[in-house]
Structure 1
Amino acid sequence: MLYRVLGSTGERVSAIGLGGWHIGLKCVDEELAIRIVHAAIARGITFMDNSWDYNGGVSEIRMGKALRGYRDKVFLMTKIDGRSKKEATKQLDESLKRLQVDYIDLVQHHEILRYEDPHRVFDEAGANAAFLEAREAGKIRYIGFTGHKDPHIHLHMLEVASERGFKFDTVQMPLNVMDAHYRSFAKLVLPELVKQNIGVLGMKSFANGILLKSNTVTPIECLHYVLNLPTSVVLTGIDSMEILDQAIEAVQTFQPMDEEQLRNILAKTAQAASRGEFEPFKTSSIFDSTAQNPDWLGEEPQRLQKLMPT
């Protein structure tokens, strides 16, 4: 296993992270999910991804069961959808119970997809106030955010945070062999994160398998490409022991790419990627859980509601 430093936190984490969504799928029974987590840890994976909303809480519950006796071997992350302080606090407490832990290493604001999301998060009664209180209480250690829609919204989130005097520890975003050709996080956001020494979490390496349907690249090539970027962790969904083997093989066979190798792999995907067809998380609402469940976000800031005409 390769290990990398998580931005300015100084934490050393595995270059591959175990995606939490897949271990809660109906096609993966609980016994297999726990076996996957244990096998991943045994093979050197330390970064564990999850979210409050994954599979109605099943993913966190299974992760909690799998980490009994293993908590000190992993860097545990989850994500919270609430934009209000009240809703974020509620969801965070639920995550702690499901995961059966006293603290979570990293909690991230989930699905920052809209230009208003940063302002809701950083409102005086917003979710980041809940995160800061939780960090002060020892319930969480680090704070980040995620999103998959548009790199400009990521940049806006960083800008709003900076205006409030806050710096994120991590940022999670889509990074894959097609991203460079369409609304690219790698081109627009990644340099800023490197400049600020913020931990980079890459996701959507395969876009839940959709990317592979382009028949342009292999799974190993996909993972090698993202490992070659200045990522701290590449998160990948693992729903079988065979897919775990594939992730480990990608790490073991990874070698830094030269400019010619990069040009060749991007040339393979240029035409298929040109319109975002194989990155539907950018071009549709199919992947937008909070759009389908707006109640997860909580109420709009009270100060804004007072401005509305009665």
Structure 2
Amino acid sequence: MIEDAGSAIAASASMSTLSAATRTLEHDIFKDGEGGRTGRSNENSNDSVPHQEKLLYGNYLKLDKLLDCQKLVTEQHCEERVHDEHLFIITHQAYELWFKQIIFELDSIKPLLDFEIHSPLIKVHPYFRQPLRIPCDSQDMNESNMFQITSRMNRVVLILKLLQEQVEILETMTPLDFMEFRGYLAPASGFQSLQFRLIENKLGVKNELRVNYGKQHYQKVFEDPSAIHKIQESEKELTLLQLVERWLERTPGLEPHGFNFWEKYQNVVKRMLDQMEEDAKKRRNYSLHFWTVMTSPT
């Protein structure tokens, strides 16, 4: 009982601390008259906006529109709505919002990796006393961007993991529950998700590796000309895979006309193996020596 009471007190204290931290965070973000936790000047604060137009949580997130997007078809065609259709809509809308964030991240990463590679030049590295010729690009990639690139790519990976976990929520709806309203959704299909196709193209999925939907090219499911145009434009862009490959191809130390890394590496390994062989030959094999003594004529 004491342990249970102690656990309850600890849990209550943790909840109180969490609640206080949440209130502090909300106050820092949305408080009036100061720059909030961004540290910006009052010129950009809510005090410079007329009272009726001040930024509030609801209008900042456009919740009036966002929360009004769940229109159940069973409310229109059935005497009584199907309860699980609401979950179905919410889940897929959440997917599309996360798809939008993934596209936003990928579109910010690709320019950081997009640079031109020119013929390698030769320069003297200031670290060495003796001049050492090493290759360099006439337009080097800014390697300081790598933190942003990896950070945003990690974010994309975490979003994809979250999307996978969302399936478990959808699985609380049984197949029979789904069939109660599935007939009203035809011919709608997840294959018609424009953003999902854009993500595939931006990552580098090749057309020849695609499985045709209904024995047709994946573009055929889209009837909106603007959607087709976006897909076609995404197919023309350099993909993330191509940009990463190009970044790897310009990695210093791989150019044969400058500092040939692989040749130096092979030479070092060969010297190491030769030294090991020489050491082995110098060591005395006592078993062999004893056998030689015993079998040699006296």
Using structure 1 for the length normalisation, give the TM-score: 0.21
Instruction: Name whichever structure is richer in strand by fraction.
Output: 1
Using structure 2 for the length normalisation, give the TM-score: 0.21
| Higher alpha-carbon Rg | 2
Instruction: Name whichever structure is richer in helix by fraction.
Output: 2
Which protein, 1 or 2, shows the higher relative CO under an 8 Å CA cutoff with sep ≥ 6?
Answer: 1
